[in-house]
């Protein structure tokens, strides 16, 4: 056996690691022990690799240090590395990967005490990141270990709780009924939605094929024509298709062609026009590349994204378990009771007939007796269920498991339309094993979606697709004669938990409590006009509306002033003994904490280049402090006011304003360029081109210094670790869309406290939502002061919207109040 003696260089590197780690966090001692154990095993594993694949000693030490920092788990990382090194194949089997990750989780839990684990351990992103480093040490390709992409793997471990679901709302169904004087009775109304859900399940494979094909076909065409003079036309091909894409069946009256087939025909026609100008060789190369991609990638994508599956919760992650189409059902919730309606006709794999479904819906809605028991199933943490399954009554568990065969639940118990989306979804919604729940408000339909199956864009699209399909079935039902309905009965689930079961459920750990707020106060027209003004003044100011939203979010965090009336209400509440802790926590959050520039996590769509990758979350921290952006803004406004108010010769006042204005606009342009480069890098899944950024030498010196700190490559897991807020903008919906509101999802990391969601409807109204997970909200709710907690969150959101409107107005004044705002490429003076 070869004995590895530490070299002087190795001893020096280890000592340097100890010096850095000795006084950082309570994780440091455990990290040191992990690093010591792992370093020796890592060196041995390197001997089995070809020399060209071996890491240098500094590289190996850096990787070991990173693993130990992320997962201080004693000898577990070393044990996993030994196992990986013995595997002959380059891609570890999926079972091995999941086993190793579970071992890492357990190792960290056992190594750290509970307080340190809860406070300092960064969760699933840290474990997956550490495992990727172990794969590198073993000579394996990390990408091969995650064939469905890192994001898909991540969401199954860290975006699985009830708070990790996002929601959309559409008004199309009820708007159609009102406009066309359709008077559906309750049974017909529910039947239309059940039929839409049934056809959604039956066509889901084809819907995913359309999504995949539209993205890949346009992306491949753009790649093949990128050197042509008119390359920009094909580069933006998918964006052009998005504006034309239909969401419902062929409107040419009475067509029974399925929606997915009609949409495919429309896309083929769109593509034919794009291909018409291409030479035969290019068309042939494109068709060959598309056929190869379809054969190699499409089936795996359909399996990855299918909602014909249920989630089986483990201690650390979820497992997707496929459901045969013939066994799927639609779950119906009425008066708190659950019913199952088969999605297939008896003895067939075809869709259930509307007449049969209507009879089952009628039977469910006709149920009398007491309402079903209110059980806190969805609020229970997913990690608690493996243990609960062993303790709960077997019959009760068996009934819960029957619900797994319903990928879509429809809650028929009306929810008030005026509630925030985050509250509308707080009704019966199963246990969380399924993909989608619908909530009826009587005016709209709300679609509550698991992030494991849906990202924001696809979730919004499917909400509109199902809405249009429900309209189709409303027409069919209105035109048909109900007549005498046969006595077909749905399956009613019998949830009869014993007192001991109720105690176990009530004592189980639950997800974070949230407070929510919404607003439509943002003046979108003013923002659009401001962008046009930027373009008129200078092409270098490429700042999008979303860039302005993110920039002002950072400014808002630094400048927010709480409402004195709210402060007074909290001070009064603090005099009541039972509410004092909650009031003091809220007061501390509002006035005693130093303003912090938030690190914002921005989901970036990655699906066009590689549909399986779904999205790339990138973090961005606006460099306000380094640039003194807020101070510069105030200086420019002060100079502008002085210039406006000056009498007589105003040349000196104008010169000062002009100087500050040029510096300010150059800084703003640089902000937009950096943010765009970061997002473009994430979309492409490539390294960030620092050289491209450094070419922008006309930026102010402070901004150029910041370029040195921009990471050289995109690291999904690292960005997930850093983000403290989520800011998700699904953008402006297509013309004719009936989407109205959107709330984004929070991953299971307790350090993420604010989740912003943005959607602009077809009427040009921007809907902004905020899910607030700050601790004081939960404390206020717990002592019965929900209204006050909501006022705090609403004021925070309203202050953001009002401040943004004022910021946009001042930007407009700054930009247009000059004889020249042209930024020369040779400099900004």
Highest mean pLDDT among 73-82, 373-382, 647-656, 798-807: 798-807
Nearest Cα neighbor of 64 from 153, 117, 138 is 138
- Token pair 């912090």 is at which residue? 596
How many C-beta atoms lie closer than 10 Å to residue 823's C-beta? 21
Half-sphere exposure of 431 (CA within 13 A, CB side): 23
How many Å apart are CA 93 and CA 95, to the nearest integer?
5
Angstrom distance (rounded) from CA 471 to CA 479: 12
The predicted pLDDT at position 648 comes to 81
Q: How far apart are CA 750 and CA 624, in angstroms?
A: 26
Q: For residue 800, what are the CA distances in angstroms to 115, 599, 661?
A: 35, 17, 24
Q: What's the rounded Cα separation, in Å, for the pair 722 and 823?
A: 34
Residue labelled with tokens 């009924």: 177
SS3 447: strand
Query: Which pLDDT score is estimated for 826?
Result: 37
Burial class (CB in 10 A: 0-12, 13-18, 19+), 130: buried
What confidence category does residue 698 fall into, taking pLDDT thresholds of 50, 70 and 90? very low
Q: Across the strands, what pairs with 313?
A: 318
Pinpoint the residues of the chain covered by CATH 3.30.559.70: 162-203+307-507
Mean pLDDT of the chain: 86
What value does the mean pLDDT take over residues 68-79?
84
Contact 548, 804 (CB under 8 A): yes
Q: Give how far the C-alpha of residue 345 lies from the chain's centroid of Cα atoms, to the nearest Å.
A: 36
- Res 13: pLDDT: 40
CA 76 to chain centre: 32
Residue-level pLDDT at 130: 85
Structure tokens at 320: 């997707």
**pLDDT score of 658 more than 70:** yes
- Which one-letter DSSP state was computed for residue 510? B
Please give the Cα distance from 143 to 38 (Å, whole number). 22
312: left (phi over 0), alpha (psi -120 to 50) or beta: beta
- Widest distance between CA atoms in the chain: 92
pLDDT band of residue 715 (cuts 50, 70, 90) is: low
Q: Which segment of 356-365, 446-455, 530-539, 633-642 scores lowest on mean pLDDT?
A: 530-539
Q: Give me the residue label for tokens 């035109």.
A: 479
Provide the phi-psi class of 784: left if phi over 0, else alpha when psi is between -120 and 50, else beta. Answer: left
Q: Report which secondary-structure segment, H or E, holds 407.
A: none
Query: Token pair of 410, please?
Result: 């429809």
Which residue has 């009306």 as its token pair?
414
Q: Read off the pLDDT band of 234 (50, 70, 90).
A: low
> Following DSSP, what letter does each residue of 247-276 receive, concatenated?
-SS--SSS--S-HHHHHHHHHHHHHHHHHT
The per-residue pLDDT for range 170-202, each reduced to its tens digit, is 999 999 999 999 989 999 999 999 999 999 999
Looking at the structure, give the CATH architecture of the domain made up of residues 162-203+307-507. Answer: 2-Layer Sandwich (3.30)
E strand or H helix that includes residue 421: helix 421-424
Length of the chain: 829
In this model, does residue 134 exceed pLDDT 60? Answer: yes
Assess contact for 749 and 617: CB atoms under 8 A: no
Please choose, from the candidates 333, 334, 374, the residue with its C-alpha nearest in 3D space to the C-alpha of residue 502: 374
Choice among 444-453, 555-564, 576-585, 664-673 with the minimum mean pLDDT: 664-673
> Number of H helices and number of E strands within the chain?
33, 16
Would you place residue 4 in the very low, low, confident or very high pLDDT band (cuts 50, 70, 90)?
very low
What integer pLDDT is reported at residue 113 of this predicted model? 62
For the segment 15-33, the average pLDDT, to the nearest whole number, is 56
Lowest mean pLDDT among 28-37, 401-410, 559-568, 689-698: 689-698
Claim: this prediction has a pTM higher than 0.85: yes
Rounded Cα distance between 328 and 309, Å, is 9
**Measured distance CA(571)–CA(515) in Å, rounded:** 20
Backbone CA torsion sign across 141, 147, 150, 153: negative
Task: With a cut of 60, say whether residue 61 has pLDDT above it.
Answer: yes
pLDDT reading at 759 higher than 50: yes
Distance CA 182, CA 198 (A): 22
Q: With contact defined as beta carbons under 8 Å apart, do 618 and 683 qualify? A: no
> Per residue in 590-623, pLDDT tens?
886 566 788 888 888 888 888 998 888 887 888 7
Do 598 and 725 touch, CB atoms closer than 8 A? yes
Identify the pLDDT of residue 551: 93
Say how far apart CA 511 and CA 435 lie, in whole Å: 18
Question: Across residues 428-437, what is the average pLDDT?
Answer: 96
CB contact burial 423-455 (16+ within 10 A = b; e otherwise): bbbbbbbbbbbbbbbbbbbebbbbbbbbbbbbb
Closest CA to 187 of 425, 444, 418, 480: 480
pLDDT on residue 818: 62
Backbone phi, then psi, for 682, in 5-degree steps? -65, -45
Q: Are 541 and 669 in contact (CB under 8 A)?
A: yes
């Amino acid at each position: 056996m070869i004995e590895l003696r530490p070299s002087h260089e190795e001893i020096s590197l280890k000592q340097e690691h100890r010096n850095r780690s000795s006084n950082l966090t309570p994780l440091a001692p455990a990290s040191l022990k992990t690093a010591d154990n792992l370093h020796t095993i890592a060196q041995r594993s390197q001997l089995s690799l070809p020399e060209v694949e071996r890491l240098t000693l500094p590289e190996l030490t850096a990787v070991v240090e990173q693993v130990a920092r992320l997962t201080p788990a004693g000898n577990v990382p070393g044990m996993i590395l030994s196992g990986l090194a013995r595997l002959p194949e380059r891609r570890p089997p999926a079972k091995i990967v999941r086993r190793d990750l579970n071992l890492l989780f357990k190792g960290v839990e056992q190594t750290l005490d509970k307080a340190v684990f809860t406070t300092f351990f960064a969760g699933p992103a840290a474990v997956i990141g550490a495992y990727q480093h172990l794969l590198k040490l073993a000579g394996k390709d990390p990408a091969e270990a995650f064939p469905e992409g890192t994001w898909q793997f991540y969401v199954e471990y860290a975006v699985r709780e009830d708070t990790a679901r996002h929601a959309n709302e559409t008004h199309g169904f009820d708007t159609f009924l009102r406009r066309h004087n359709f008077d559906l009775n309750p049974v017909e109304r529910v039947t239309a939605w059940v039929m839409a859900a049934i056809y959604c399940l039956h066509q889901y494979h084809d819907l995913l094929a359309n999504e995949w094909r539209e993205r890949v076909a346009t992306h491949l065409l753009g790649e093949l024509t990128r050197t042509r003079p008119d390359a920009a036309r094909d580069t933006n091909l998918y964006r052009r298709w998005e504006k034309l894409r239909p969401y419902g069946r062929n409107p040419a009256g009475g067509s029974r062609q399925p929606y997915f087939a009609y949409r495919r025909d429309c896309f083929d026609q769109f593509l034919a026009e794009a291909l018409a100008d291409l030479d035969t060789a290019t068309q042939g190369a494109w068709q060959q590349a598309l056929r190869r991609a379809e054969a190699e990638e499409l089936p795996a994508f359909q399996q990855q994204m299918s909602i014909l599956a249920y989630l089986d919760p483990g201690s650390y992650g979820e497992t997707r378990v496929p459901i045969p189409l013939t066994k799927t059902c639609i779950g119906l919730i009425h008066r708190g009771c659950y019913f199952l309606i088969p999605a297939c006709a008896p003895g067939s794999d075809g869709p259930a007939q509307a007449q049969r479904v209507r009879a089952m819906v009628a039977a469910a809605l006709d149920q009398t007796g007491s309402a079903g028991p209110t059980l806190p199933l969805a609020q229970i943490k997913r990690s608690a269920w493996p243990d609960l399954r062993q303790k709960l009554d077997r019959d009760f568990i068996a009934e819960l498991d029957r619900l797994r065969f319903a990928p879509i639940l429809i809650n028929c118990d009306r929810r008030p339309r005026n509630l925030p989306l985050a509250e509308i979804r707080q009704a019966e919604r199963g246990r969380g094993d399924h993909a989608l729940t619908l909530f009826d408000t009587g005016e709209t339909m709300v679609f509550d979606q698991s992030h494991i199956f849906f990202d924001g864009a696809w979730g919004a699209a499917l909400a509109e697709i199902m809405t249009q399909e429900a309209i189709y079935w409303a027409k069919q039902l209105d035109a048909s004669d109900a007549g005498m309905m046969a006595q077909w009965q749905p399956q009613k689930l019998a949830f009869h938990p014993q007192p001991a079961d109720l105690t176990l459920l009530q004592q189980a750990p639950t997800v974070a409590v949230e407070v929510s707020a919404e607003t439509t106060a943002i003046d979108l027209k003013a923002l659009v006009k401001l962008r046009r003004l930027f373009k008129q003044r200078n092409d270098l100011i490429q700042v999008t509306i979303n860039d302005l939203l993110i920039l002002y979010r950072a400014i808002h965090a630094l400048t927010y002033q709480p409402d004195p009336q709210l402060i007074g209400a909290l001070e009064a509440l603090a005099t009541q003994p039972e509410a004092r802790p909650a009031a003091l926590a809220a007061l501390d959050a509002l006035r005693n904490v130093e303003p912090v520039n938030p690190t914002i996590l921005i989901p970036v769509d990655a699906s066009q280049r590689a549909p399986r990758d779904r999205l790339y979350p990138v973090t961005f921290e606006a460099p306000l402090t380094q640039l003194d952006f807020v101070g510069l803004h105030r200086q420019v406004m002060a100079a502008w006011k002085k210039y406006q108010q000056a009498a007589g010769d105003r040349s000196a006042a104008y010169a000062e304003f002009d100087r500050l204005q040029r510096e300010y606009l150059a800084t703003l342009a640089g902000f937009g360029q950096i943010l765009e480069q970061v997002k473009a890098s994430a979309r492409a899944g490539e390294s960030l081109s620092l050289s491209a950024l450094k070419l922008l030498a006309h930026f102010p010196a402070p901004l150029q210094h910041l370029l040195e700190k921009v990471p050289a490559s995109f690291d999904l897991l690292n960005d997930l670790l850093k983000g403290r807020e989520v800011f998700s903008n699904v953008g402006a919906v297509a013309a004719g869309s009936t989407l109205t509101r959107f709330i984004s999802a929070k991953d299971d990391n307790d350090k993420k406290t604010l989740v912003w969601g943005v959607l602009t409807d077809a009427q040009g109204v921007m809907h902004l939502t905020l899910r607030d997970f700050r601790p004081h909200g939960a404390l206020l709710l717990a002592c019965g002061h929900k209204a006050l907690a909501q006022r705090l969150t609403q004021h925070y959101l309203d202050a953001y919207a009002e401040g943004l409107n004022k910021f946009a107005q001042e930007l407009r004044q700054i930009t247009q109040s000059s004889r020249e705002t042209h930024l020369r490429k040779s400099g900004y003076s």
